[in-house]
Amino acid sequence: MDRKVRYLCYLHFFIAIGALFGGMAGMLSPYEPLGIPNELLEGSPFSSYFIPSLILFAIIGLGHTFSGLTALKNSKHQGYISSVFSWALMIWIVVQCIIIETVDFLHVLYFILGLIGAVLGFLILAERRQFPANLFLKS
């Protein structure tokens, strides 16, 4: 397995574990998951953490699990899959920071991990000469 794909595999499973557990905690205890006060949601479209936790679990957690599994199989579509779910993580973090109006260490860390995943996904696309990376490469 190529080193980039192996790193992506580790990265996706690391993100998936956090998102699956965090999402599950928020769905099981939607008003104060892991001690996070419900007041952070004031002014947001959510009255509890259930819907954001469901999105975290399904899109970020299951998405990164899927990405990790496809990395294990070295799928020919790995660059696309990794890029999509890495960008989803970065968008998730930005939207979360806007909604709760704060940024902390974990937001920065997971945004950087998403960025690393997106860059590695793009490098795989470039290495395999797949769209859109092939547009930036000289023939």
Q: Which domain holds residue 93?
A: 3-136
Does residue 59 contact residue 84 with C-beta atoms inside 8 Å? no
Among residues of the chain, what percentage have pLDDT more than 90?
77
User: Distance between CA atoms of 64 and 58, rounded to whole angstroms?
Assistant: 9
Confidence of residue 139 (pLDDT cuts 50, 70, 90): low
Residue pLDDT, tens place only, 74-101: 899 999 999 999 999 999 999 999 998 9
For 12-45, the pLDDT digits (tens) are 999 999 999 999 999 999 999 989 898 989 889 9
**What is the total count of domains within the chain?**
1
